[in-house]
Amino acid sequence: MLTQDDNGPDGKKTEYLKDDQLNLFRHFDPDLYDFLRGKIHEHETERVSRDVKNFTDRQLKNAKFHGESLSDARENREAYFRRMWSQFATSQVDLIFFDPDNGLANNNNSKSPKMKGTMNSSKNLFRDEVSESLNKGFSVLFYQHFDRTSRSDLVARLGSELAAMTPIQKSYSFWTPHVVFFLVPLEKHMEMISNAIVRVLASRWAQPRSCRTSLKNDQRHILVGMHNI
């Protein structure tokens, strides 16, 4: 979900791609590591190697990208989603991966609700957009930033809430040391998704130290959770 550059510090955690870290991290996923290293440190032929607009369909097999920019304006947001759903329906997409800056809005009951059309609302995905994507026949995967509440409580609460959005009443979480990803599947995609989850659990990513980013959490790895209502 592309937004205007806010000149913030996000995206600077790239130390794992430096020369002295190559042997430590590359073996977990060589293809992904080499791709990211090329984008960030080896400066491909693109004018600005790290510009996400350079990331096109051809660089990820079987993926389609919605490359429009999303602003805070409500009318822009509505048009953005209409065109996205239309594009993905035409392309016969099965699953939409949403990558908002902060994840799903309004997860902390102690804060005033964030509304569409307000400042920085473009940094969030909203629940009705997840629900409508499911209604239109897409399974949904999205990035979620941890807030200052209990991480385990957040994962359990959102997992249960998302499970209630589908007839199969089931969702999944993929918990990493710093962020969590939520997967909300439709029944028609469950065989494909179940097979993918098995592959994740059998991969190096599910092994201790695969997500080692600091001495404080060097035993952390991807934790896969299943949630029901």
Task: Enumerate residues 6+ apart whose C-beta is below 8 A from 54.
Answer: 44, 46, 48
pTM, to two decimals: 0.88
Q: What is the pLDDT of residue 53?
A: 65
In this predicted model, which residue has the larger pLDDT, 108 or 217?
A: 108
In this predicted model, which residue has the larger pLDDT, 113 or 220?
A: 113
Q: What confidence tens digit (pLDDT) does each residue in 151-189 have?
A: 999 999 999 999 999 999 999 999 987 889 999 999 999
Q: Which amino acid is at 31?
A: D
- Spatial contact of 133 and 85, defined as CB atoms under 8 Å apart: yes
Q: What is the pLDDT of residue 43?
A: 54
What is the rounded distance in angstroms from the CA atom of residue 81 to the CA atom of residue 85? 6
Question: In this model, does residue 204 exceed pLDDT 90?
Answer: no
In this predicted model, which residue has the larger pLDDT, 140 or 33?
A: 140
Question: In this model, does residue 138 exceed pLDDT 80?
Answer: yes
Q: What is the mean pLDDT of residues 141-157?
A: 92
Q: Among 128, 229, 125, 134, which residue's Cα sits nearest to residue 184?
A: 134
Exposed, middle or buried: residue 208 (CB in 10 Å: 0-12, 13-18, 19+)?
exposed
Q: What confidence tens digit (pLDDT) does each residue in 118-137 have?
A: 999 999 999 999 999 999 99
What is the enclosing helix (H) or strand (E) of 28?
none
What is the rounded distance in angstroms from the CA atom of residue 16 to the CA atom of residue 20? 8
Task: Enumerate residues 6+ apart whose C-beta is below 8 A from 96.
Answer: 84, 88, 133, 138, 139, 140, 141
Give 3-state DSSP helix, strand, coil % of the chain, rounded to 5: 40, 15, 45
Burial readout 133-144 (b: 16 or more C-beta within 10 A, e: otherwise): bbeeebbbbbbb
Among the ranges 35-39, 59-63, 65-69, which has the highest mean pLDDT value? 65-69
> Lowest mean pLDDT: which of 23-32, 51-60, 61-70, 74-83?
51-60
Q: What is the pLDDT of residue 221?
A: 76
Exposed, middle or buried: residue 183 (CB in 10 Å: 0-12, 13-18, 19+)?
buried
Q: Which amino acid is at 88?
A: F
Q: How far is CA 101 from the centre of its chain?
A: 9
Q: Any bridge partners for residue 98, and if so which?
A: 142
What is the rounded distance in angstroms from the CA atom of residue 46 to the CA atom of residue 54? 7
- Sign of the four-CA dihedral 3, 101, 11, 21: negative
Question: Model confidence at 18, in pLDDT bands (50, 70, 90)?
Answer: confident
- Domain boundaries along the sequence of the chain: 12-55, 58-228
